[in-house]
Structure 1
Amino acid sequence: MARIRFVLFMLFLSSLGVKGQQAEKYLSHPLPAGWQEQDAMFQQALPVDDHWWKVFEDVTLDSLIRVAVKQNPSALMAMNRMDMAKANLRIMRAGYYPSLSLDAGWSRQQTSGNTGTGQSQSRVGYFDAGVKMSWQADVFGAIRQRVKAQKESFAASREEYNATMVSLCAEVASAYFNLREAQQELGVLQRNALSQKAVVEITEVRYNTGLVSKLDVAQAKSVYYSTLASIPSVESGIIQYTNALAVLLGLYPQDVASSLENSHPLPDYIEPVEVGVPGQLLLRRPDVRAAERQVNAQAALLGASKSDWLPSFFLNGSLGYASHDMKDLTKRSSMTWSIAPSISWTIFNGGQRLNAVKLQRAQLDETINRFNNTVLTAVQEVDNAMSSYRNSIKQIVACREMVNQGKEAFKLSLDLYKQGLSPFQNVLDAQRSLLSYENALVQAQGYSLICLVQMYQALGGGW
């Protein structure tokens, strides 16, 4: 009966062991054949795998990511966790080998002569030295399965490290684009402030010559000072984004401020993106691969818990020397040895093994459900990022036309006002609108870049 149970158990284990490319068997539903967003902006070629940020052709961004990869604290902690998992794997593999110990010593004892046993008082002393060995034979694979579980856990820690690096590169790129966006917004405010100051001077000239009332001057100044009042908050945002980048790089803010203080235009990137197909996420996204490894590890632990139902075989032995006199310790006649094979089979332990198997099976089901949830989330994130990027491109196109028309409206209204053919209110409206339009364009460009970064991250872009 035990032999039949062992065979069934090994068949069950073989059905659980899977490779990374066979992760589909864990899916509760097949992955869709394509994405919801299907247009010319997205191609079903294999996405760029390494250094996706180089498409922006920004050397500053390239250098920031290189520094972050080397010394970001979160990345270093992920590497530490990977080293710990590797050490645990080596500890578990030690179960394959026997345990050896060396013992040596000297003892001396005296027996009582007044215990009523008829023996006289005596003293005995001897020297001994020897090697002891203990080894558990892995007949039914309990150790092997636990080693396999730890091996899969180590592989999962490597994938978690990769996921940390993918996330880190995306965070650095996002913080960098937020910084550049804030700097561009500051430039928009400063340019509009200069333009509005010129309008104030025009109204003052016209007021001094008696062509308009002082109301025009007051209204022009209100718009001008409103723009100036917006500058400090943007400058504060620039400092905050710089500090955020410094933390991601594992540096202090003063170490990076000088290299980022000069404004730099946002990359003008509006290109088709290679996204592949949903099924490729199983091979590309580190979090999906890590979830799969965790399922494999839990399956191995379930197999190990089942093997605990079967007997364990041990081999113990020793070899050494013992002698009353030190000079006789290494003689052949002083040699001692023993060998003791044994078997241990727990017949009853209050249902502990049965419930241990149930626990491992429930944990396996949990990791499978977690894997499915990870895959569903991955597909959702890619679809969301694709939709956001596509619509952000539409927004940029509309904002550019909006800015062009705003500039034209401001120019025409100012010319008509100078000629006395239009009220000053038209100039005020045109000023406010132009500032709003230019800010909207900068924000749309920054948002589009963030969406693109999020899409590369969702696709599991390599670092």
Structure 2
Amino acid sequence: MGLKRITVVLTGLVLCLVFYCDKTFAQQRDNRYLENEMPANWDPDSLFVQTLPIEDSWWQGFNDTLLDSLISKAVENNYDLLMAADRIRQAKAVFRESQAGFYPGVSFSGGWTRQQSSENTTRMPYPIDRITQYASAEASVNWEIDVFGSIRNRMKASKEMYRASREDYNAVMVSLCAQVASGYAQLRTYQQQRIVAEQNIASQKAILHITEVRYNTGLVSQLDVAQAKTVYYSTKASLPALEAAIEQQINGLSILLGLYPSELKPVLITAAPLPDYLKLVSVGIPANLLRQRPDIRAAERTVASYAASVGAAKSDYLPKFYLKGSIGFASREMDNFFNNKSLTYQIAPTLNWTLFQGTQRIQALKAAKAQLDENIRQYNQTVLNAVQEVENAMSGYSGSIKQVVALREVIVQSELTLKLSLDLYKQGLAPFQNVLDAQRSLLSYQNSLVSAQGGALSYLIQLYRAVGGGWLGQ
């Protein structure tokens, strides 16, 4: 009786200690879960509205059917996305496997044995039956009763990892759509720069012809012709680099779409305008990032998984209860096999409590807590990175739009400068150097405008990606 009382008291003390530690650790974990508060609002700007968007197919707002089809093809064929789907299936299988711990294990065994013994090994005064046979069939059950939550916590850990894998899939989806849109935007930027170069080549060729005519009539020296040719051929020399850049962008897009470049090139080689980049963007309030961005949701699920693993490690300190049983038949004679007298059974409730195992369980608990702390910090870092990405994309997009507006006015004045300087040159009232400067400036400003337009589109795509890239799960 004394030993029984001591066992009960020890069990109660251990339970109280474990539950107290669970509560204290949970409070500490909650206090550290978000070390940095989210900003209340983004910096105000007339280009942004802090409300939730309506739909999640954000790329359709560019009104480019070809881009829509490219993203659809990428979602079907991209290998990174398909591998992410495979990881979901793996995590789901692990989760289902952990659920099996709640159910009893049932096994069946049966056999028949016939044996003949040697007559020369016996020294009996009377004859014996040298041939014996034995038949048995038995069904057994082994069931761990999850009193202290060991199985439950491990199942929860695998369940949260399964949920995290789904969020990782969403994150890959967001990244893929953004990469396709960004690659498409860069392709159209290069194509527009090629058009700018070709237009300037045509204009410079006409001006070269004017200088040759004036040289042939003796109005100017050959220097004007040489300078005009220098500008003309330098602009032509920029075309091969642009062509190579266009080819490389098509190759990059083909990888994202899971296609060979030869399949995609006929579709994209023809130049087209940049998609519409001037928009009023719904960015939501900063707190919405916590439920919009898949990477933040995945990090949150991972933290929950490791928190459950800590609970499972603590439950290993406590006893485990098993219910074992079996029922079957055994008989020497098959005629009596299913007779009541051949019935066998066993019922064996069991308690298994490892009181000492070196420091194995202590170190396992420390490792689980360290993993949880690491993932809490990773969660906080993910939130900070998300805020930074949104801020950078917003400032970049706003700056690009302002740059586009300014460059358009610059180009208007640059075109006027070229026209006036060329008119004065034809009249012999100004040197050809003014025309050369105007040509170079116009080409540079036009390229800058196309780059700024492409940059604005890229920043807009980055912004969509930074605030959730489609607001999956809304």
TM tier, shorter chain? Answer: over 0.9
For 1:117 and 1:42, the matched residues in 2 are separated by: 104
441, 446, 449: which one aligns with 1:438: 446
After superposition, where does 1:172-191 map in structure 2 within 5 Å? 172-191=180-199
Tell me how far 1:104 sits from its aligned partner.
2.0
Structure 2 partner of 1:29: 36
Q: Describe the shift of the 1:246–1:200 C-alpha distance in structure 2 as closer, same or farther (beyond 3 A).
A: same
Tell me how far 1:112 sits from its aligned partner.
6.0
Tell me how far 1:324 sits from its aligned partner.
2.4
Residue 362 (str. 1) matches residue 387 (str. 2): no
For each residue in 1:398-439, what CA deviation from the matched residue of structure 2 results, as whole angstroms up to 9, or x when unmatched? 111111111111111111111111111111111111111110
Query: Percent sequence identity over matched residues?
Result: 53
**Secondary structure at the residue paired with 1:140?**
coil
Residue 71 (str. 1) matches residue 77 (str. 2): yes
Output the amino acid matched with 2:303: V
Tell me how far 1:13 sits from its aligned partner.
5.2
Residue 427 (str. 1) matches residue 442 (str. 2): no
Tell which deviates more after alignment, 404-413 or 437-446.
404-413
Residue 392 (str. 1) matches residue 386 (str. 2): no
Tell which deviates more after alignment, 209-218 or 22-31.
22-31
Output the amino acid matched with 1:402: V
For 2:263 and 2:184, the matched residues in 1 are separated by: 15
For each residue in 1:137-190, what CA deviation from the matched residue of structure 2 results, as whole angstroms up to 9, or x when unmatched? 111110001001111111111111111101111000000000000100111111
**Secondary structure at the residue paired with 1:168?**
helix
Q: Describe the shift of the 1:118–1:360 C-alpha distance in structure 2 as closer, same or farther (beyond 3 A).
A: farther
Structure 2 partner of 1:351: 359
Judge conservation of contact 1:69–1:165 (CA < 8 Å) in 2.
Answer: yes
Tell me how far 1:130 sits from its aligned partner.
2.1
For 2:225 and 2:458, the matched residues in 1 are separated by: 41
Output the amino acid matched with 2:35: S
- Return 5+ residue gaps in structure 2 as ranges: 1-9
- Return 5+ residue gaps in structure 1 as ranges: none
RMSD of equivalent CA atoms: 2.2
Structure 1 partner of 2:142: 134
143, 151, 158: which one aligns with 1:150: 158
**Secondary structure at the residue paired with 2:358?**
coil
For 1:32 and 1:9, the matched residues in 2 are separated by: 38
**Secondary structure at the residue paired with 1:103?**
strand
TM-score normalised to the size of structure 1? 0.94
Q: Describe the shift of the 1:81–1:92 C-alpha distance in structure 2 as closer, same or farther (beyond 3 A).
A: same
Structure 1 partner of 2:62: 56
For 1:308 and 1:111, the matched residues in 2 are separated by: 50
Q: Describe the shift of the 1:367–1:284 C-alpha distance in structure 2 as closer, same or farther (beyond 3 A).
A: same
Structure 2 partner of 1:336: 344
Tell me how far 1:49 sits from its aligned partner.
4.9
Residue 101 (str. 1) matches residue 84 (str. 2): no
Q: Describe the shift of the 1:17–1:252 C-alpha distance in structure 2 as closer, same or farther (beyond 3 A).
A: farther
Output the amino acid matched with 1:107: T
Q: Describe the shift of the 1:307–1:289 C-alpha distance in structure 2 as closer, same or farther (beyond 3 A).
A: same
For each residue in 1:291-335, what CA deviation from the matched residue of structure 2 results, as whole angstroms up to 9, or x when unmatched? 111111111110011111110111122222222233433333322
20, 26, 46: which one aligns with 1:40: 46
Tell which deviates more after alignment, 396-405 or 101-110.
101-110
For 2:115 and 2:19, the matched residues in 1 are separated by: 54
- Total equivalences in the alignment: 459
Judge conservation of contact 2:322–2:350 (CA < 8 Å) in 1.
Answer: yes
Tell which deviates more after alignment, 380-389 or 315-324.
315-324
**Secondary structure at the residue paired with 2:278?**
coil
Q: Describe the shift of the 1:41–1:351 C-alpha distance in structure 2 as closer, same or farther (beyond 3 A).
A: same
For 2:16 and 2:90, the matched residues in 1 are separated by: 35
For 2:276 and 2:425, the matched residues in 1 are separated by: 36
**Secondary structure at the residue paired with 1:365?**
helix
For each residue in 1:371-421, what CA deviation from the matched residue of structure 2 results, as whole angstroms up to 9, or x when unmatched? 111111111111111111111111111111111111111111111111111
Tell which deviates more after alignment, 313-322 or 89-98.
313-322
For 1:222 and 1:327, the matched residues in 2 are separated by: 111
Tell me how far 1:110 sits from its aligned partner.
4.6
Output the amino acid matched with 1:26: Y
**Secondary structure at the residue paired with 1:321?**
strand
Tell me how far 1:270 sits from its aligned partner.
1.8
Judge conservation of contact 2:178–2:469 (CA < 8 Å) in 1.
Answer: no
For 1:308 and 1:247, the matched residues in 2 are separated by: 49
